[in-house]
């Protein structure tokens, strides 16, 4: 992993050592060098940023899987309730069990959503802090370059 400040310093040096443009106040630099340094900066981003991206990608899949599981529980409960309804002596019991299973499935689904949202919030907060820190470093480097 590279030190981001060192890489930014190298970009500054490349800009400082660039050839003066024939027109205007710009300079000509080796774009391959600049792109290489930018790639190194990207590879040096904190792991939490990559983790947050992975969580976001996987959260939809996880939510869908758990929703299917909850629907399966509800379908099983409905099927079981229908079978129990065939026998008139236990109608009330079947209704109570089906309602309890539905409530359990709803509770499970609600807890799952809350847990996923909490996990995402924590990871996104960490990613936001890391990106903010990186942005501050880049802004300082840019400001120091603009002063020169």
Q: What is the pLDDT of residues 2-27, one digit of tens each?
A: 677 888 888 888 888 888 777 777 88
| Averaged pLDDT score across all residues of the chain | 84
Please state the domain extents for the chain: 1-44, 46-131
Position 147 scores a pLDDT of 73
- Distance CA(27)–CA(69), nearest Å, equals 61
What values do phi and psi take at 20, rounded to 5? -65, 140
Q: Is the confidence at residue 111, as pLDDT, over 90?
A: yes
Q: What's the first-to-final CA gap in the chain, in angstroms?
A: 29
> With left for phi above 0 and alpha for psi between -120 and 50, is residue 24 left, alpha or beta?
left
Position 63 scores a pLDDT of 84
Q: Which residue has the tokens 């529980």?
A: 73
CA angle 91, 79, 74 (to 5 degrees): 105
The pTM for the full model equals 0.38
CA angle 27, 30, 35 (to 5 degrees): 115
Position 148 scores a pLDDT of 63
> In this structure, what token pair is assigned to residue 148?
């020169």
Position 88 scores a pLDDT of 63
């Amino acid at each position: 992993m590279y030190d981001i400040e060192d890489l930014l310093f190298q970009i500054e040096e490349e800009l400082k050592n660039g050839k003066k443009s024939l027109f205007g106040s710009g300079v000509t630099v080796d774009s391959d060098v600049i792109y290489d340094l930018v790639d190194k900066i990207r590879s040096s981003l904190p792991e939490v940023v990559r983790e947050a991206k992975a969580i976001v990608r996987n959260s939809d899949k996880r939510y869908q899987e758990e929703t299917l599981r909850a629907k399966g529980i509800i379908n099983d409960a409905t099927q079981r309730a229908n079978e129990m309804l065939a026998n008139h002596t236990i109608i009330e019991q079947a209704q109570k069990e089906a309602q309890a299973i539905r409530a359990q499935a709803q509770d499970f689904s609600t807890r799952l959503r809350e847990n996923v949202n909490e996990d995402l919030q924590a990871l996104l907060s960490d990613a936001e802090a890391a990106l903010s820190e990186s942005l501050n470093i880049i802004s300082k480097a840019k400001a120091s370059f603009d002063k020169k």
